[in-house]
Amino acid sequence: MPKAAPYDVLFVDQSQNDPNPLPTPNDIDGSEVLLNQSSGSRLVRMQQKFVIKFGIHVHPIEARNMLYVAKSTTVPIPRVYAIYQRQEERGVVTYIVMQYVAGTTLLNLWSSLDRARKTAIARILRTYFDQLRQLQHPGYFGNIAGGPPLDDMFSATRGAHVVKTSFAAEDELIDYIIRVYSLYLGERAAHKTRYYQHVLPTVLRGNGSPVFRHNDFQRKNIMIQPDETPVIIDWEFASWYPTYWEYSTATFANGGWNDDWHDYVRMILDEYPTQSLWLSSMKLEMWT
Domain boundaries, the chain: 8-99, 102-288
pLDDT of residue 99: 95
**Residues 242-262 pLDDT 10s:** 999 999 999 999 878 899 999
pLDDT value for 1: 43
Dist. CA 60–CA 236, nearest whole Å:
9
Quote the pLDDT of residue 162. 62
Query: Which segments of the chain have a pLDDT < 70?
Result: 1-3, 17-18, 35-39, 155-163
Q: How far apart are CA 41 and CA 91, in angstroms?
A: 13
* Report field, pTM of the whole predicted structure over 0.75: yes
What is the pLDDT, as a whole number, of residue 89? 86
In degrees, to the nearest 5, what angle opens at C-alpha 287 toward C-alphas 281 and 288? 85
Nearest to 85 by CA among 77, 93, 74: 93
In 3D space, the residue among 246, 185, 241 whose CA is nearest the CA of residue 215 turns out to be 246
CATH hierarchy code of domain 8-99: 3.30.200
- Give the C-alpha distances (Å, rounded to integers) separating 42 from 56, 78, 284: 10, 16, 27
- Whether 180 and 154 have beta carbons less than 8 Å apart is answered as yes
Cα atoms in the Cβ-side hemisphere of radius 13 Å centred on 17: 0
CA-closest candidate to residue 205, choices 247, 167, 166, 243: 243
**Torsion sign over Cα 161, 141, 166, 93:** negative
The domain defined by 102-288 folds into Aminoglycoside 3'-phosphotransferase; Chain: A, domain 2 (3.90.1200)
Q: Could you give the CA distance from residue 186 to residue 175 in angstroms, rounded to a whole number?
A: 16
Contacts 24+ apart (CB under 8 A), 167-176: 167/140, 167/141, 167/142, 168/139, 168/140, 168/141, 169/141, 169/208, 170/141, 170/204, 170/205, 170/206, 170/208, 170/242, 171/201, 172/141, 173/141, 173/149, 173/242, 174/200, 174/201, 174/204, 176/148
Report the pLDDT value the prediction gives residue 31, as an integer from 0 to 100. Answer: 72
Return the number of other C-beta atoms located less than 10 Å from residue 108's C-beta. Answer: 13
> What pLDDT, on a 0 to 100 scale, did the predictor assign at position 35?
62
Convert 157-182 to b/e letters by CB count within 10 Å (16 or more is b).
Answer: beebeebeebbeebeebbebbbbbbb
